[in-house]
Structure formats: structure tokens, C-alpha cells
Amino acid sequence: MSVLDRAYQKAREHMIPLGVHFDLTYRCHQRCVHCYILVSWRRGDGPAPELTTVQIKKILDQLAQAGTFFLIFSGGEIFLRPDVMEIIHYARSLNFSLSLYASGTLGLGEEEMRGLAALGIEGLYISVYHLDPAIHDQVTGIPGSGKRVWQTLERCWSHGIRTPFNCMALSLNHQGIPEIQKFTEPRNIALRVDANLSSRWDGAPHPPGLELSREAKNKLWADLGLPGRSEDWREPLTVPELNEDEGCDVGFVRCYIRPFGEVWPCMEINWGCGVLGNGMDFEQLWRHSETLGRIRSMQRKEILDKALCVYLREAWQHRYHENKEKVS
């Protein structure tokens, strides 16, 4: 067992929130076809006012006190916040292992590049949907976005900033993903591929035919040399295999914080656990939230049966078929 695996197991035993995904804003200048965030929220009319710089710093203090180490800042487009570099600097001053998720098409000037390089972030994860900029533009809905992404990547590399690629596999772009892998592998760039569409938060369906069929997903994984299903890349932890008696690790070692301070177990389970601020701090919520207590008490199979998480359902189905093949 690796050092990280031992740390993970210890954190789970003591319910230490080792990894936190923190969305700083839902605002975004792009119109990605697979986005689950409401259009009005992306335009700035969110469900509640965004946390201020002071409020975010206070929450970061609380996360550090609670034992969080792996931290993701995402959105929306985080570089739409004028205070984002101040927030990033403060997070690194607390020694978080910090990863950033961004579009790569906005707000990354020379000053920001030098700042990110100096701060030693874990990585600036950039969404890359195709090597052909025109197909990338079809996914984002913004002409010229594909060209701007590659300009940003070149500048990041010149500053020594690690830029893992995030790629959503859709009917529009999946045939080009093996070519992305051929580009990234010799350059030692991490490529993380996801083919499970997150349900839109307004309940509306995604465009018909956007999500890949099961057969297309299996072919993609085979072409990429992946073990039958998508890697679980949404969180910063390399999580060891859980045995079937353990519950999901959300609520045990990780959670999700929304831009106005509400905590969810994760982005796929939209059960409000409480709102940080107004007298409630993170440790209090983490230890005493009835919703998190309910999540912790549920077995993995229950979560799958209730269709709360497409990622766990995919993992469970994959394991079932693997075990069936071994028996036969």
C-alpha cells in the first residue's frame, strides 16, 4: 500500500475531509453543449450571491484546520473573478495542494502566468475537446475558443506550468480523443477523459444523441487502452479500490462547496448539507450535518439503486461484469 493509500485510509477512519472541490463561481463566458449549470447562472444570475474574498479566505482557514490537503478551485470560469489570484495566493499560503480548472480562454495574461508559476500549483487543468480548433468550438459554442486554448497552453508551457488536459467525450468529438492521447503521452501531459454526462441542474435533458452509447464508450476505452471504463478523475485523490462493504468516500474524505457557501456531498449528489457562514463553520457542518450523516450511513449499493451517482453506477456495473466473467 502506498503512502497516499495509507493516508487515505487513515483519513476515512477519522472522517478527515482530505479533498475538497470548491466552485468559486458559476459564471462562464462559454456555452458548452454538455454543461449542467443553468444558463442564467452562467450569465451571473446565480441562486445566491457569490462568497466575498474575505468569506472565501475564512472558509479556507476552516478547511485547513479540518485537515483538508487536496483542493480544487473550479467553476464556471474562475478567471471571471477579479480576486481569483488573491484567493489562489492565499490558498497556497495555507499549503493546500491546489489544482485549478479553467477553460484556458480567459483571464490568463502574463502577470497571472508568472504568478501561477511562482506559487507552485499542482496543475492548471484545461478543457481540450479536440486537436482541431473548429471541433473544439462546436463543443464550447464560442468561435475562436479552440485557437485561444492552444495559445494559452503554449504560454503555460513556456512558464513551466503543468497543464493536464480534461476532455469530455461526446458524440461531437469522441473520434478525435485517441489523437489527443497521441499528443499528450510523449509530452508527459496527463489526459483525463470522462464520458458520463452530469444531469443538468434545471432538470432539462441534454441535446439528443450528445452522450455516447455504451458500445461507443467501450470502444473509446479500448482505443485509449483504459480498463473498460472512465478513470474517476473528478477529485484530486487516487482512491484505492473500496471493498463492497464500504460506502462511497463522499462525506468521509471529500465534499463539494458551491460558490455561495452551500456544501454538497459531491457534485453528483445535490443534497444540501448546510451553508457556511452566518455562524456555521466547516468543522461544525462536516461533523454534525444530518445530510452528511445520512450519506455516511448508506451503503454503496443503496446509492447506486437510488441513481444518485452515475460514476458509482458505472463502477458497480463494471465490477459486476468483471466478477461474472471470472466465475464463468
Q: Which of 196, 193, 195, 163 has the alpha carbon at shortest distance from 181?
A: 193
pLDDT at 72 over 90: yes
pLDDT at 314 over 80: no
Q: Which segments within 46-199 are labelled E, that is strand?
A: 70-74, 97-102, 123-127, 165-168, 191-194
Output the pLDDT for position 230: 44
Output the pLDDT for position 279: 79
pLDDT at 242 over 60: no
pLDDT at 298 over 80: no
Kindly report which listed range (154-158, 283-287, 314-318) carries the lowest average pLDDT score: 314-318
- Nine cell digits for residue 48: 445566491
The reply to whether 86 falls in a domain is yes
Q: How confident is the model at residue 3 (pLDDT cuts 50, 70, 90)?
A: confident
pLDDT (mean) for 123-140: 98
Tell me how far apart the alpha carbons of residues 43 and 31 are, in angstroms, rounded to a whole number. Answer: 10
- Nine cell digits for residue 24: 468559486
Long-range CB contact pairs, 43-47, < 8 A, 24+: 46/259, 46/260, 47/260
The reply to whether 109 falls in a domain is yes
Output the pLDDT for position 7: 84
| Number of domains the chain contains | 1
Kindly report which listed range (38-42, 152-156, 197-201, 232-236) carries the lowest average pLDDT score: 232-236
Kindly report which listed range (47-51, 204-208, 306-310) carries the lowest average pLDDT score: 306-310
84-102: per-residue pLDDT in tens? 999 999 999 999 999 999 9
User: How many Cα atoms are found within 13 Å in the side-chain-facing hemisphere of 103?
Assistant: 28
Tell me how far apart the alpha carbons of residues 276 and 54 are, in angstroms, rounded to a whole number. Answer: 13
- What CATH number has the domain bearing residue 144? 3.20.20.70
pLDDT at 317 over 70: no
Q: How confident is the model at residue 247 (pLDDT cuts 50, 70, 90)?
A: low
C-alpha distances in angstroms, 9 versus 4, 5, 283? Answer: 9, 6, 20
Tell me how far apart the alpha carbons of residues 213 and 113 are, in angstroms, rounded to a whole number. Answer: 39
The reply to whether 232 falls in a domain is yes
The reply to whether 320 falls in a domain is no
Task: Assign 3-class secondary structure to 135-164.
Answer: HHHHHHCCCCHHHHHHHHHHHHHHCCCCCC
Q: How confident is the model at residue 163 (pLDDT cuts 50, 70, 90)?
A: very high
pLDDT at 226 over 80: no
The reply to whether 20 falls in a domain is yes
For residue 8, the enclosing domain spans 3-299
The reply to whether 51 falls in a domain is yes
User: Among all chains, which residue has been given the C-alpha cell 463502477?
Assistant: 315
The reply to whether 325 falls in a domain is no
Dihedral sign for Cα atoms in the order 228, 193, 74, 6: positive
Output the pLDDT for position 326: 42
Its pTM stands at: 0.88
pLDDT at 311 over 50: yes
> What 8-state DSSP symbol labels residue 176?
G
Long-range CB contact pairs, 78-85, < 8 A, 24+: 78/24, 78/25, 78/102, 79/106, 79/107, 79/108, 79/112, 80/25, 80/27, 80/28, 80/29, 80/106, 80/107, 81/24, 81/25, 81/50, 83/53, 84/24, 85/112, 85/115
21: part of which helix (H) or strand (E)?
Answer: strand 19-23
Mean pLDDT for the chain? Answer: 87
Ranked by mean pLDDT, the top range of 45-59, 212-226, 295-309 is 45-59
Output the pLDDT for position 23: 98
> What 8-state DSSP symbol labels residue 262?
B
Tell me how far apart the alpha carbons of residues 181 and 160 are, in angstroms, rounded to a whole number. Answer: 21
The reply to whether 19 falls in a domain is yes
pLDDT at 115 over 90: yes
Tell me the DSSP string of 275-288.
BSBTTB-HHHHHHH
pLDDT at 244 over 60: no
Q: How confident is the model at residue 6 (pLDDT cuts 50, 70, 90)?
A: confident
Output the pLDDT for position 267: 87
pLDDT at 283 over 80: yes
Q: Contact, 99 vs 190, CB < 8 A?
A: no
Q: Which of 253, 279, 200 has the alpha carbon at shortest distance from 70?
A: 253
